[in-house]
Amino acid sequence: MTDLVRRILVLGGGSSGWLVAALLAAEHGPRGLQITVVESSEVPTIGVGEGTWPTMRDTLRRIGLSETEFIRHCQASFKQGSRFDGWIHGRDAADGDRYYHPFTLPVGHGDVDLVPAWLAAGERPFADLASPAVQVCEAGRAPKQEQTPEFAAVANYAYHFDAGLFSQMLREHAVGQLGVRHVVDHVDAVLTQDDGDLRGLQTRAHGLLEADLFVDCSGMTALLIGGHFGVPLKSEREVLFNDAALALQVPYARPDAPLASCTIATAWAKGWIWDIGLPARRGVGCVYSRSHASEEEAQTALHAYLDATGAPAERNAPRPIRFDPGYRERFWVRNCLAIGLSSGFIEPLEASALALVEQSAARLCNELPLRRDVMDGVARRYNEDFVYRWARVIDFLKLHYALSRREDSDYWRLHRDPASWPASMRELLPLWRLRAPARHDFGRIDEIFPAASYQYVLYGMGFRPEPQPVTAATLHTGQACFEEAARQARRFVPALPGHRALIDHIHQTGFPR
Ligand SMILES: Cc1cc2nc3c(=O)[nH]c(=O)nc-3n(C[C@H](O)[C@H](O)[C@H](O)COP(=O)(O)OP(=O)(O)OC[C@H]3O[C@@H](n4cnc5c(N)ncnc54)[C@H](O)[C@@H]3O)c2cc1C
């Protein structure tokens, strides 16, 4: 048989290339699948992408990494969700313009309608009432204890990490433990077979690298899916306008400075600023739309933020990054699948990019077509499913902007204009005036953003559903859930170590395995 899929060539050694290669090798290496990663020393990786989604815990476990080693090697910290400052009115967080999107579900989620009890509670933010995670974050606590086993949680969590160290660790593990072949070389040309399938990638020093299946993780150059196959990018610029960022790393003023255990996303007049706390430094970046702001304006906003948050005055110049918000019309063409930035990128909000990489890699592993003749069917289903997933990411990200009442620029006014909303949002928002977002509003059991995330953002942004007739029992059950969340918070906060203290403990002692 000539059409067996035995050799997979991954083009690109960024986070996506190594995640795909490591997962494939962990799950299919033992039965003889050969995996090669080729990466160019001339094309750097994007070097950002340091916030993740809780799915990363399962991905690391599947790859066979130890959580202790991962945290030590990647300078990782725990992320319990995101905090949004200034998104509602453009006021200071101290003035109440702050809400959380925690990863821990609301108590009673899915079983109890919490909205009547929340409306009855006055102006208290929904997440503060519904989940103990807000108090855990505000108290600077870690999401687990020293004795909690690896990857297990008290409060749900993901990670922040150094992107460069993350790729390096995955590479060392994939090559050293899982048998992945690593070729450092520049791909100059793409060779095809008569039927249009890819045959191999021509490199400068290692000749032709042949394979049965190719994974394009070549980043924004999209060498195979865009350059060779010409699959266009479906632009989302009319919905989500951000297309540039300025990124830099800043040290803490003191080595024992508090370590945030959520991503802090602070809105400014023409975009937003991410602030990711790693143990030894912060990663900070200003996201903006070039149609609404100049690079100088973004620089000014970034430095004002750094000044206000106590960053030392001496700073490196921020690195400018541009992107084209959108995703490919198809991701899998013939014997080539694009994963990571080559398949698309919308913007950094809510760390959806690595979460999609994980979903793509897992899907490839689970449905790996073992023969070429079944590949087109797998590809067709993959394409249909991932077009759906990208559309949901866009809906969810737009929700953060569409409900803002900021009046300080056209940027925010335009985001509020329903003409810039996806059709699904125009349909769902009126429905959510009458009832809470629920699981049946979304089509998949493994949605990246579950109904709880929509509730946190919707109600966090101050969207108040119209009060409906409600029984005393429903109201009472919702209030009992809030009391339970408060009870959990009272239990968790004193029992959990400080975030920095737990990171120090992991570096010194590690978790039980
Ligand atoms: C400003 C910004 C902020 C972000 N923040 C987040 C975040 O917080 N959370 C999140 O989940 N995601 C985030 N992302 C997205 C995240 O960075 C990426 O999804 C992730 O890093 C994966 O990138 P990649 O591996 O696809 O591409 P890259 O890191 O760009 O890697 C591309 C690889 O392809 C190789 N290559 C290219 N051309 C050739 C060639 N001709 N020959 C050989 N090799 C070649 C390169 O050498 C490199 O190894 C962010 C992105 C941006 C732009």
pLDDT 10s digits, 363-408: 999 999 999 999 999 999 999 999 999 999 999 999 999 999 999 9
pLDDT tens digit sequence for 90-122: 998 788 899 999 999 999 999 999 999 999 998
The β-bridge partners of 102 are 81
Q: For residue 413, is it within any domain?
A: no
Look at residue 446 in the predicted model and tell me its pLDDT.
85
Dihedral Cα 106, 346, 337, 11, nearest 10 deg: -110
Look at residue 134 in the predicted model and tell me its pLDDT.
98
The β-bridge partners of 267 are 272
Q: For residue 371, is it within any domain?
A: yes
Judged against a pLDDT cut of 80, whether residue 180 lies above it is answered with yes
Ligand 1 atom with minimal separation from the 219 CA = 27
- Band (pLDDT 50/70/90 cuts) for residue 82 is very high
Ligand 1 atom with minimal separation from the 47 CA = 29
Ligand 1, pocket residues at CB < 6 Å: 11-17, 38-40, 43, 45-46, 48-52, 163, 186-187, 217-219, 221, 223, 245, 247, 285, 321, 323, 340-341, 348, 351, 353-354, 357
CA 344 – CA 324 distance, rounded (Å):
8
- Counting the structural domains of the chain, the total is 1
Q: For residue 250, is it within any domain?
A: no
Ligand 1: which of 48, 79, 161 to mutate, most ligand atoms within 8 Å of CB? Answer: 48
Beta-carbon neighbour count of residue 230 at 10 Å?
A: 8
- Phi and psi torsions of 182, nearest 5°: -120, 125
Phi-psi sector, 207: left (phi>0), alpha (psi -120 to 50), beta: left
Look at residue 94 in the predicted model and tell me its pLDDT.
80
Judged against a pLDDT cut of 60, whether residue 27 lies above it is answered with yes
Q: For residue 409, is it within any domain?
A: no
The β-bridge partners of 234 are 327
158 class by beta-carbon count within 10 Å (0-12 exposed, 13-18 middle, 19+ buried): buried
Q: Which amino acid is at 508?
A: Q
Q: For residue 43, is it within any domain?
A: yes
Look at residue 203 in the predicted model and tell me its pLDDT.
98
Q: For residue 252, is it within any domain?
A: no
Collect all residues with Cβ–Cβ distance below 8 Å to 199 and sequence separation of at least 6: 191, 192, 193, 208, 210
Judged against a pLDDT cut of 90, whether residue 419 lies above it is answered with yes
- Band (pLDDT 50/70/90 cuts) for residue 2 is low
What's the 319 CA to ligand 1 centre distance in angstroms? 15
pLDDT tens digit sequence for 230-283: 999 999 999 999 999 999 999 998 999 999 999 999 999 999 999 999 999 999
Q: For residue 103, is it within any domain?
A: no
Q: For residue 338, is it within any domain?
A: yes
**CATH number of the domain encompassing residue 36:** 3.50.50.60
What's the 341 CA to ligand 1 centre distance in angstroms? 6
Dihedral Cα 278, 338, 168, 286, nearest 10 deg: -30
Answer for the pair 371, 4: CB distance below 8 angstroms, yes or no: yes
Instruction: Please give the mean pLDDT across all residues of the chain.
Output: 96
Look at residue 95 in the predicted model and tell me its pLDDT.
84
Answer for the pair 283, 276: CB distance below 8 angstroms, yes or no: yes
Residue 33's domain comprises 7-75+159-234+324-391
